[in-house]
Amino acid sequence: MNASGAELTGESLHPGTARGPLLVLTEPVSFWGGVNADGVVVDRHHPQRGTSVAGRVVVMRDGRGSSSASAVLAEQIRSGHAPAALLVGERDAVLLLGALVAAELYGVRMPVVWLDGFALDRLCSDDEVEVRAGDPPGPATVRPCVAAR
């Protein structure tokens, strides 16, 4: 989060609330083939290989790779190995679908929030944030948790 810890506003793509440490992906990763069932990045080409996305507020500037990522994400949400929330820079349907289906089948709502490049630039890995996303296409907020620092 930026030095002043200001709240960032984006657009809700999928509703929900979540809290967790940020994980800013430095390169795109495909959830199919690139992240395993336990939520660990296994893409051999990825600089953050070995990092877990589970329980993190994951920041993805770009989507990448296989369209099977939706099912992998839905299964991670079911089994409790998914990110706490996704903050995305692209209106990519693939991960959104995983969140939509998990909500339909299991009632678990993992928020997905679109942020512009200016807001994405203000996010730093490991900072604790709270994400609140209303019904789409309404607003969503990403707020630093000062107490956690």
Partner 1 sequence: MTRSGTGSGTRSDTHSGSPLRLTEREQQMLDGRDGEAVALCMRLVTGVARASGAPRLLEVASAHVDGCLYHGRAGLDFAERLVETGGRVSVRTTLNVGSLDLLHPWLVRDQEIAASGRRLMQAYVELGCEPTWSCAPYQSGHRPALGSHVAWAESNAIAFVNSVLGARTDRYGDFLDIAAAVTGRAPDAGLHRDEARRAVLVLDLSGVSRALLEEDVAWPLVGAVLGARAGTRVAALTGLPGDLADGGRTEDRLKALGATAASSGGVALFHVVGVTPEAPTLEAVAAPGAPTLSVGTADLRAARDELSTASGDRLDAVSLGTPHFSLTELAALADLLRGGAPFADGVDVWVSTSRRVLDEARALGYVDPLLAAGGRVLTDTCTYVTPVLRPGTGVVMTNSGKWAWYAPGNLGVDTVLGSLAECVASARAGRVVRDERLWG
Please report how close the Cβ of residue 136 comes to partner 1 at its closest, in angstroms. Answer: 5
Distance, first Cα to last Cα, the chain? 11
Residue with Cβ nearer partner 1 (69 or 144):
69
Residue 89: partners with Cβ closer than 8 Å, 6 or more residues away: 60, 61, 62, 114, 115, 116, 117, 120
Catalytic residue among 12, 66, 70, 79: 66
> Which residues within the stretch 45-104 sit at the binding site for partner 1 (CB under 8 A)?
45, 61-72, 74-75, 77-79, 89-94, 96-98, 100-102, 104
Residue with Cβ nearer partner 1 (6 or 93):
93
Is 66 one of the catalytic residues? yes
137 touches partner 1 (CB under 8 A): yes
Q: What is the CA radius of gyration of the chain?
A: 14
With contacts defined by CB under 8 A, how many residues of the chain interact with partner 1?
A: 51
124 touches partner 1 (CB under 8 A): no
Residues of the shown chain interacting with partner 1 in the complex, contacts defined by CB under 8 A: 11, 13-14, 27-28, 32-34, 37, 42-45, 61-72, 74-75, 77-79, 89-94, 96-98, 100-102, 104-106, 112, 114, 116-117, 136-137
Catalytic site residues? Answer: 66
